[in-house]
Structure 1
């Protein structure tokens, strides 16, 4: 009898343990299916991408979590194993860097957006600058600083340096540059009055009411500004595929148009 009771008790415990494991599996599965889509995106995308993510959530009930920083910093985080589903870069170089290491899904990659490079000053500034070859930007700055992203890593800083070299102004201003961690940080230096001039994207200037665009760099003065986006190799979130499709669709276009981006990739009609 004791043996029979012990066997029944053992069987009951085994059954209960199995139920607990099944419960954990169900909970874990639900979490995996409903977890946020994690996007690593260039800082200059913030306003437009926040709006696009909110629209997608209203449509699908799914959430997007975005980490904004300079593209170089985000690429290095992904390389170090950070769990991102999508990488949305402000230039081709950092996407190429991840691609060369096999860290994105090449079939998902698309060059989606374009931008323009501008010179900004604080709102109400009377400074006038003609961005043409031979410009003496150093004389215009005097003892002040020029705000830019880091010129050797941050895409906006790299574009800015290339443009100044093209115009023959880099040698004169290179020791006057206040280098920031990302383009939004450079914008903030001008917005707060800590630098009289800054080089940012047109879309950044549009986002800040405390700055004005005083000149636009000629397109031929720097490499084309292209924003590629791709799924990361390790992403297993099916919602990330759906959100990428949404970003490529005409449903997301108004949010990027509003901020001054141009579409270089063909929008699709689906979501």
Structure 2
């Protein structure tokens, strides 16, 4: 009887000290990531949890919205932005652990139409008349004042001389995935989204690609937040690994760094 009591006390002490065998399963990290990352990152997170037992809670939205949520104290451990501007914004406000920041991924923007659209094989270059191509329909992209894909789209159209005429036809969405959905549903006749988004949506087709030199380089930086849990370092290391690179490239992202493992 005394031996049973001793075993029980020892078990209670073990649990209280945080050395319970189930402790790893109870750990979690909250990841704030650009909406365009959802499919690829969901796959990466599932593999990471299977390997480590650490649960990943992912929140996807426009990078602009996520950066402001972090600024307002939202409990995030990782921030993965679709442009450097919003990572710079978070860094300037001391919301990011700057030493952990790395430019992880690249992407490109494309012109899309509903899958059954008669529009096809559009050559995008100087003098490109997007307004005429859209006719009476709407063109969907992210909010050009804040959402990265919209900012890239506007920059490209301004450089190509197509923005002024096309601007009134734009339907500004809260994120790139929202813009993608508008086109897939036929609520917009055209859309400007990342190539990676077009690839995962069967309801749309790519009808043209924007020249890389028509807009700032599309770069996805990632970093731990200033309030991140210690486990964030291992998760960031996994994002830089060959295993993550394989998944990200499968979804069409360009891996910008040499894999660390």
Q: Hey, what does 1:120 align to over in structure 2?
A: 112
Superposed CA deviations along residues 216-264 of structure 1, whole A, max 9, x for unmatched, are 10000000000000000011x2221111100011111111011100011
Alignment of 1:1-271 (within 5 A): 26=17, 34-128=26-120, 129-235=122-228, 237-269=229-261
4+ residue runs of structure 1 moved beyond 4 angstroms? 22-27, 29-33
Alpha-carbon distance in structure 2 between the residues aligned to 1:31 and 1:234: 21
Alpha-carbon distance in structure 2 between the residues aligned to 1:102 and 1:260: 32
User: TM-score of the superposition, structure 2-length normalised?
Assistant: 0.90
CA contact (8 A) 2:173 2:179 kept: yes
Alpha-carbon distance in structure 2 between the residues aligned to 1:206 and 1:124: 16
Instruction: Give 3-state SS (helix, strand or coil) of 2:231's partner.
Output: helix
- CA shift, 1:126, in A, is 2.2
Cα RMSD, aligned residues only? 2.0
- CA shift, 1:25, in A, is 6.0
After TM superposition, the structure 1 stretch with the greater mean CA deviation from structure 2, 70-79 or 29-38, is 29-38
Alpha-carbon distance in structure 1 between the residues aligned to 2:82 and 2:250: 18
The count of residues paired between Structure 1 and Structure 2 equals 248
Instruction: Give 3-state SS (helix, strand or coil) of 1:184's partner.
Output: helix
Superposed CA deviations along residues 186-224 of structure 1, whole A, max 9, x for unmatched, are 000000010010000000001101111111100000000
Instruction: Give 3-state SS (helix, strand or coil) of 2:242's partner.
Output: coil
Alpha-carbon distance in structure 2 between the residues aligned to 1:141 and 1:213: 15
- CA shift, 1:265, in A, is 1.8
Alpha-carbon distance in structure 1 between the residues aligned to 2:160 and 2:23: 54
Bigger radius of gyration among the two: 1
Alpha-carbon distance in structure 2 between the residues aligned to 1:86 and 1:169: 37
Superposed CA deviations along residues 86-119 of structure 1, whole A, max 9, x for unmatched, are 0000000000011111111111000000001000
